[in-house]
Amino acid sequence: MAKNLTSREDDYSKWYNELVIKADLAENSGVRGCMVIKPYGYAIWEMMQAELDRKFKETGHQNAYFPLFIPKSYFSKEASHVDGFAKECAVVTHYRLKTADDGSVIVDEDAKLEEELIVRPTSETIIWDTYRKWIQSYRDLPLLINQWANVVRWEMRTRLFLRTAEFLWQEGHTAHATEKEAIAEAEQMMNVYAEFVETHMAVPVVKGLKTESERFAGALETYCIEALMQDGKALQAGTSHFLGQNFAKAFDVKFASKEGKQEHVWATSWGVSTRLMGALIMTHSDDNGLVLPPKLAPHQVVIVPIYRGEEQLEQISEVANGLMKDLRAKGLRVKYDNRDTQKPGWKFNQYELQGVPVRIAIGPRDIENGTFEVARRDTLSKEVMPKEAIVENITALMDEIQNNLFDKAINHRKENTTTVETYDEFKKVIKGKGGFVLAHWDGTTETEDRIKNETKATIRCIPLDGDNESGTCIFTGKPSARKVLFAKAY
Amino acid sequence: MAKNLTSREDDYSKWYNELVIKADLAENSGVRGCMVIKPYGYAIWEMMQAELDRKFKETGHQNAYFPLFIPKSYFSKEASHVDGFAKECAVVTHYRLKTADDGSVIVDEDAKLEEELIVRPTSETIIWDTYRKWIQSYRDLPLLINQWANVVRWEMRTRLFLRTAEFLWQEGHTAHATEKEAIAEAEQMMNVYAEFVETHMAVPVVKGLKTESERFAGALETYCIEALMQDGKALQAGTSHFLGQNFAKAFDVKFASKEGKQEHVWATSWGVSTRLMGALIMTHSDDNGLVLPPKLAPHQVVIVPIYRGEEQLEQISEVANGLMKDLRAKGLRVKYDNRDTQKPGWKFNQYELQGVPVRIAIGPRDIENGTFEVARRDTLSKEVMPKEAIVENITALMDEIQNNLFDKAINHRKENTTTVETYDEFKKVIKGKGGFVLAHWDGTTETEDRIKNETKATIRCIPLDGDNESGTCIFTGKPSARKVLFAKAY
């Protein structure tokens, strides 16, 4: 079908960029590296937010809001944190513009800030500066806070959703009385993310731990979930960090324990971002456009009338409106597109491109026969369904499509996960079909770096589940506790 | 009761500041002028957002997201717009930090931006730069978009919620084919705001037009809603602007009309912000703390057990949990506070301070008698209610409290709205009890400025409803089309 969309086989990267724009999800703005999230893309993000927010509240978290700006001095307090983010910080230095003698608008040099402000790349420092005032006693713990916000990381090479200078995300920041509790929280949030990504996004993930070199700047342990895209590259879909007492020490956050002792607090932070949109798009979509799982589709069903003249349209609209009402009563998100400015063929194309899970066409013959033509986006198959069964069938189809997408993604991952025993095999797979590669590693950053330099593959995670037999490192032959997950990554 | 809260009579401004902090709504951060919105305050804001968002979508708007940063050159394109905002803009000039020779972290002067970026104080310019690409034909109109976002205005004197350097808001930006449609949209959104503020916040408002000097920078007409606080000062609760073709011309946004002619688009923008929190707090609260209307209370009912020993607590908890379940089934937000770390008296104080509409206490005698002690926050009255009637009574109480708060606010406004015929009367009222003052005005900015300089009162709006008889200006004696609304304002 003529979507003017580059095929995945021809150029996966180009396919993705074109798809994001043609499906009306997002576009580049006039500000370097910053995107505009268009209404259709934002509607999907809103549904993700709603479900994640529900899960956060269910697990006892509350939302709050902290400043966009971070004084430079706060930012510098945790040494490894500043090392991790300093090179990509947008800095506010002035607070006023003025009109120059030639009439142009310029920055007013008389309005220079005494201390420069960093636009938050993440909020640990400003939040822990606040927590010092909120936490005095064990009674104030645990403190379980989440924030929905925009953050800025001045990345040099950007791609819509996957890597942008500004992005939207949520960041959880929790404080606990004990190390054990903080670790349990970090693990819990990794599981919350995994459950959401698998159940709602229909994207299977591997849960694991980051290696030391891939950890969040300031964390003692980073839990992550890793997904595999159709081109065989990995995408980190969410991270949850056990921060130990690093930030509590940097910001002097202590509490009086039950025994009356002053102790530093234990911390976690965890986040997912609009990057999830990239994972969603790349996992399911095809050369005809976007494919959305029903749970995150702004419209789960679209009804298109096929008619000549007002009279036919009226007849069809009566049936369509009745069906829409019945489907909505079942909780489905349904749109009836009776615009007369566009032809049915154009609409079919559009909804295919935008990934609407089910399309129902109604023509005069359907009215005569009491039938509907139902087209599935995931399989591109069509079926004629009788009036009597339509509501039940469509409702059931939602689960069927959701499950089918997940199964397809699981199968793709299975076919593209390779276990290797030697470095030659490793290089061959990484250079060839790519995908996830499970291999033994000696646990050192040096080996990790050398493999990365030679193959561009990185350790995505040390998986928490699966095969945990010991062996010897494919690169050095030294002992390895278990196989780890390698891949080239986004 | 000992809340350690300054009374309104002693110092209204101090009362407000203390209340915001003691009720756990917000606090100042380490960043000049930027606040931290605490979980309890944020929960109220989330409920406001949810209802407003519902109303926006009901009226056909979609959400989207545009960049935080605006290139300086965009910002300068609409002349009156830049004049209005240039003096309070945070400016990003660099994109990297580095470590200096002495080990301190400094701004990397080698990473200076070619063009400075403004942190959005409002998004007309970046949005209209985008709309140029989205609008080609009348088929693309109307374009009805809303954005939930943070904005920054570098105000010199700030107060929690009322005026902060960073605040949260929504900004609607719409594009229309005709002037008439754009004006109708601006009016519609003023009405949407008024309906929300009156029905949900229980805050009565006057709808009107701003005078030329109080208009939004770049607007042809600004519609507003004005509320009266307990201290007799007015608070602007929301604005909706008819922007004419100003931004369309500045950003060259044209469409092909049905007749095939190229025409500039007509625009509106409209917004409300976390400032509404200030209006909510100041309208209803008293010397004991916050008073919340049930529709925006995170907890509408709190149940507190009064007990000695485990056995009593168990008995009471059984009844309390049953009641909570029954009330939740009616859609109420109920909390059962059985913490043993705090005494009932402390809890009573806390929930009074935090404005929970209804408190239910259950003691051993209530268990015996099959009763509950019900306390209303708005009237500070208590009543014993029998088990049989409790669910029905509490449900009814929600509406009663909501209505009572609105009625009280309406009465307060009536008592503090004065119609005057002379400038002497005017000065006496403004200097004395304050409040809204209706008076004739000759329609010139000069007169408006002189009255403002002499009395500090400004024209809040030219009301759209009410007495519209003509007369003569209290200041100049020149003809006046109708009385306008004066007040000192926040």
What chain A holds in terms of domains, given with CATH numbers, is: 12-69+121-284 (3.30.930.10), 296-400 (3.40.50.800), 417-487 (3.30.110.30)
Side-chain-facing half-sphere of A201: CA atoms under 13 Å:
27
Measure CB to CB from residue B76 to each of A75, A105, A126 and give the nearest one.
Answer: A105
Whether residue B94 and residue A96 make contact (CB cut-off 8 A), yes or no, is no
Whether residue B65 and residue A37 make contact (CB cut-off 8 A), yes or no, is yes
pLDDT, average across residues B55-62: 98
Residues in chain B with CB shorter than 8 Å from the CB of A30 are 71, 74, 126, 129-130
Residue type, A376: R
Please name the residue of chain B whose CA is at the shortest distance from the CA of residue A148.
B149
Per-residue exposure over B365-391, b if at least 16 CB sit within 10 Å of its own CB, e if not: ebbeeebbbbbbbbeeeeeebeeeebb
Residue type, B151: V
CA distance B344 to chain A (A): 17
Beta carbons of A172 and A186 less than 8 angstroms apart: no
Residues in chain B with CB shorter than 8 Å from the CB of A116 are 107
pLDDT, average across residues B118-137: 97
Whether residue B95 and residue A91 make contact (CB cut-off 8 A), yes or no, is yes
Mutation site, A28, A56, A92, A350, interface B, largest B CB count within 10 A: A92
**B264 strand-pairing partners:** B254
Beta carbons of A206 and A460 less than 8 angstroms apart: yes
Q: How do residues B246-288 score in pLDDT, each as one tens digit?
A: 999 999 999 999 999 999 999 999 999 999 999 999 999 999 9
Residues in chain A with CB shorter than 8 Å from the CB of B62 are 39, 42-43
Beta carbons of A487 and A457 less than 8 angstroms apart: yes
CA distance A36 to chain B (A): 5
Beta carbons of A266 and A373 less than 8 angstroms apart: no
In this structure, the number of other CB atoms found within 10 A of the CB of residue A112 comes to 14
String of DSSP letters for B103-169: S-EEE-TT-EEEEEEEEPSS-HHHHHHHHHHH--BGGG--EEEEEEEEEE---SS-BTTTB-SEEEE
Beta carbons of A358 and A364 less than 8 angstroms apart: no
Whether residue A38 and residue B70 make contact (CB cut-off 8 A), yes or no, is no
Residues in chain A with CB shorter than 8 Å from the CB of B253 are none
- Of A368, A420, A374, the C-alpha closest to A400 is A374
Provide, for chain B, the percentages of residues in helix, strand and coil under a 3-state DSSP scheme, each rounded to the nearest 5: 40, 30, 35
Question: Is pLDDT of B2 > 60?
Answer: no
How far is B445 from A13, CA to CA, in rounded Å?
A: 58
Residue in this structure with the two tokens 């088929």, named with its chain if needed: B139
In this structure, the number of other CB atoms found within 10 A of the CB of residue A182 comes to 25
Q: Structure tokens of B398?
A: 């929600």
Q: How far is CA B145 from the centre of its chain?
A: 20
Measure CB to CB from residue A119 to each of B62, B72, B92 and give the nearest one.
Answer: B92
Mutation site, B95, B110, B129, B273, interface A, largest A CB count within 10 A: B95
Q: Structure tokens of A63?
A: 């939302």
Please name the residue of chain B whose CA is at the shortest distance from the CA of residue A68.
B166
Beta carbons of B253 and B263 less than 8 angstroms apart: no
Looking at per-residue pLDDT, the higher value among B471 and B82 belongs to B471
Q: Structure tokens of A451?
A: 């493999």
Measure CB to CB from residue B69 to each of A34, A38, A65 and give the nearest one.
Answer: A34
Please name the residue of chain B whose CA is at the shortest distance from the CA of residue A79.
B105
CB neighbours of A79 closer than 8 A, spacing ≥ 6?
Answer: none
Under DSSP, the state recorded for B302 is E
Mutation site, B45, B97, B350, interface A, largest A CB count within 10 A: B97
Whether residue B37 and residue A99 make contact (CB cut-off 8 A), yes or no, is no
How far is B291 from B353, CA to CA, in rounded Å?
A: 8
Mutation site, A22, A45, A47, A69, interface B, largest B CB count within 10 A: A69
Residues in chain B with CB shorter than 8 Å from the CB of A93 are 91-94, 107
Element (H, E) at A294: none
How far is A149 from B43, CA to CA, in rounded Å?
A: 15
Residue B3: pLDDT band with limits 50, 70, 90: low
Side-chain-facing half-sphere of B429: CA atoms under 13 Å:
23
Residues in chain B with CB shorter than 8 Å from the CB of A130 are 27, 29-30, 36
Mutation site, A61, A62, A65, interface B, largest B CB count within 10 A: A65
Measure CB to CB from residue B130 to each of A36, A71, A86 and give the nearest one.
Answer: A36
Task: Please give the C-alpha separations between residue B72 and each of A103, B86, B155, B217, B373, in angstroms, as whole numbers.
Answer: 14, 10, 19, 17, 61
In this structure, the number of other CB atoms found within 10 A of the CB of residue A437 comes to 28
**A69 strand-pairing partners:** A119
CB neighbours of B260 closer than 8 A, spacing ≥ 6?
Answer: none
Measure CB to CB from residue A96 to each of B66, B89, B149 and give the nearest one.
Answer: B89
Q: Write out chain A's pLDDT in tens, 490 residues.
A: 446 899 999 999 999 999 999 999 999 999 999 999 999 999 999 999 999 999 999 999 999 999 999 999 998 898 888 888 999 999 999 999 999 998 889 999 999 999 999 999 999 999 999 999 999 999 999 999 999 999 999 988 999 999 999 999 999 999 999 999 999 999 999 999 999 999 999 999 999 999 999 999 899 999 999 999 999 999 999 999 999 999 999 999 999 999 999 999 999 999 999 999 999 999 999 999 999 999 999 999 999 999 999 999 999 999 999 999 999 999 999 999 999 889 999 999 999 999 999 999 999 999 999 999 999 999 999 999 999 999 999 999 999 999 999 999 999 999 999 999 999 999 999 999 999 999 999 999 999 999 999 999 999 999 999 888 999 999 999 999 999 999 999 9
- Using CA atoms of B159, B163, B168, B173 in order, give the dihedral in degrees to the nearest 10: 170
Residues in chain B with CB shorter than 8 Å from the CB of A89 are 95-97
Average pLDDT, chain B: 96
CB neighbours of B13 closer than 8 A, spacing ≥ 6?
Answer: none
Whether residue B104 and residue A76 make contact (CB cut-off 8 A), yes or no, is yes
Q: How do residues A361-373 score in pLDDT, each as one tens digit?
A: 999 999 999 999 9
Residues in chain B with CB shorter than 8 Å from the CB of A35 are 67
Residue type, A456: K
Residues in chain A with CB shorter than 8 Å from the CB of B118 are 97
Measure CB to CB from residue A65 to each of B37, B71, B76 and give the nearest one.
Answer: B37
Full-model pTM: 0.97
Beta carbons of A241 and A269 less than 8 angstroms apart: yes
Lowest mean pLDDT of A5-19, B80-94, B120-134, B229-243, name the range. B80-94
Question: Is pLDDT of B1 > 60?
Answer: no
Q: ipTM exceeding 0.90?
A: yes
How far is B234 from B436, CA to CA, in rounded Å?
A: 7
String of DSSP letters for B59-120: TT-EE-B--SEEEHHHHTSSHHHHHHHGGG--EEEE--EEE-TTS-EEE-TT-EEEEEEEEP
Q: How far is CA B231 from the centre of its chain?
A: 17
In this structure, the number of other CB atoms found within 10 A of the CB of residue A285 comes to 23
Whether residue B30 and residue A74 make contact (CB cut-off 8 A), yes or no, is yes
* pLDDT score of B83: 87
Residues in chain B with CB shorter than 8 Å from the CB of A168 are 65
How far is B270 from B279, CA to CA, in rounded Å?
A: 18
Beta carbons of A225 and A206 less than 8 angstroms apart: yes
How many contacts does A have with B, using Cβ atoms within 8 A?
Answer: 188
Question: Is pLDDT of B426 > 70?
Answer: yes
CB neighbours of A424 closer than 8 A, spacing ≥ 6?
Answer: none
Beta carbons of B30 and A129 less than 8 angstroms apart: yes
* pLDDT score of A124: 96
Whether residue A36 and residue B87 make contact (CB cut-off 8 A), yes or no, is no
